[in-house]
Amino acid sequence: MKRVVVLGLMGQYPLGGMAWQVLHHLIGLRRLGFECFYVEDSGAPPYSPREQAVVGSTRENVRFLRETFRRYDLADAWSYYDSLTRRWFGMRPARVRELFEHADAIVNLCGASRPDREGRHKGCLIYIETDPILEQVKYAQGDAVTRDFLHAHDVHFTYGWNIGEPGCRVPAGDIAWRKTHPPVVVDLWESAPKPRGNWRTIATYHNKGKDVVLGGETYHWSKHPNFARVMDLPSLTKERLEVALSSYSTEVREQFLAQGWKLEDPYRISHGAGVYRRYIQGAKGEFSVEKEDQTRLKVGWFSDRSVCFLGAGRPCVLQDTGFGARVPTGTGLLAWSTAEEAVEALERVARDYTRHAAQALAIAREYFDASVLLPPVLEAAGV
């Protein structure tokens, strides 16, 4: 049996969304017949969603990993390095070294770990970039650390489906970027339609630290400029809009509430993989804005949150990032660029909900299921 090791950030950020990003890869690969393991050694300090801050103990993080992997029959297939105590949890260090030495492929999901060529003898190192633009720009600008990091990988994938295509301003450089989107194990999400719930999403209002400048223009790695453009949306439609929102001020909170949005506590609905799934399954669909850099540069990015909504048979009305270059839109999955288009899309779904819900599930199966997206990744690695 071929062996694949997945590297990620699920322990550093113990959240439902991060858990499913990893689980969809591990479970999807196992169903394809691979022996799969998860290893996390990012060297980064642990983050506590409860405290919404970096903390001095990994207790919460390790408990999250242990409970999640046990629930999905992966109790003996994970290891996490605590950089604070210099201690491994889960699989022991000798087992981790053996895995790296003999793995057929190592998937560096979201660039979680710095590549170590000394520790692997044969495995192809695959970089899956889940958040495009910044690395491409830094590479084009000659950033030595970025160049060394990318060149240390054997195969490069990005969720930026349009990078390197005509009309996309993000520089591809001399990296042979292959394209993919986030996978979902659809049958883990399927549920009965519940069209009376709110339109929901999970979002960070204001991200910092990864803005880029292209052609003298600044592109924000954050959703706050796009939220501002649709702040009054609840007053323009009869559809009810809800967001589990983090990283915003009291003033911004009052603005959302005054405009008619329902705000949910993001920790309450993201503190575990199961509660995160139930929150999505209980939605009418997903209405979401996306980060400004992705929407202005039309990179073709798609969210690993949105594939969960689709897998649950929940229609998605998403701000356009150019994903229509690969995935069909108009029924089940609708793209919008203006508030007026968003209103029209929401109301179009409401008029024929059953058809849109069925198509959402069909799109998940045909375009995003792990059985569709993971084989090309491994084939590119020669596995």
Does 242 share its domain with 343? yes
pLDDT of residue 113: 87
Give the pLDDT confidence of 330-371 residue by residue, as tens digits. Answer: 999 999 999 999 999 999 999 999 999 999 999 999 999 999
Q: In the predicted model, is pLDDT for residue 121 greater than 70?
A: no
Does 21 share its domain with 90? yes
Does 9 share its domain with 80? yes
Q: In the predicted model, is pLDDT for residue 120 greater than 60?
A: no
Does 200 share its domain with 84? no
Give the pLDDT confidence of 130-164 residue by residue, as tens digits. Answer: 999 999 999 999 999 999 999 999 999 999 999 99
Does 162 share its domain with 209? no
Does 192 share its domain with 252? yes
Does 151 share its domain with 217? no
Does 240 share its domain with 127? no
Segments forming the whole domain that contains residue 223:
186-367
CA angle 273–53–46, rounded 5-degree value? 65
Does 272 share its domain with 198? yes
pLDDT of residue 118: 56
202 contacts 325 by C-beta, under 8 angstroms: no
pLDDT range class, residue 296, cuts 50, 70, 90? very high
Give the pLDDT confidence of 174-211 residue by residue, as tens digits. Answer: 999 999 999 999 999 988 777 678 999 999 999 999 99
Does 192 share its domain with 131? no
Angle between helices 273-281 and 16-31 (to 10 degrees): 90
Distance of CA 156 to CAs 39, 132, 221, 293, 300, Å? Answer: 19, 12, 22, 21, 16
Q: What is the CATH number of the domain that holds 253?
A: 3.40.50.2000
Q: Is 24 helix (H, G, I), strand (E, B) or coil?
A: helix
CA angle 324–326–332, rounded 5-degree value? 55
User: In this predicted structure, which of 24-28, 38-42, 115-119 has the lowest mean pLDDT?
Assistant: 115-119
Give the pLDDT confidence of 48-104 residue by residue, as tens digits. Answer: 998 888 999 999 999 999 999 999 999 999 999 999 999 999 999 999 999 998 999
Neighbours of 214 (CB within 10 A): 18
| Helices and strands, counts by H and E, the chain | 14, 19
Does 24 share its domain with 89? yes
Q: In the predicted model, is pLDDT for residue 116 greater than 90?
A: no
Distance of CA 206 to CAs 264, 269, 338, 369, 373, Å? Answer: 16, 19, 20, 30, 30
> How many domains does the chain contain in total?
2
pLDDT of residue 115: 73
Does 179 share its domain with 40? yes
226 contacts 289 by C-beta, under 8 angstroms: yes
Predicted structure pTM score: 0.96
Q: In the predicted model, is pLDDT for residue 253 greater than 60?
A: yes
pLDDT of residue 195: 67
pLDDT of residue 56: 92
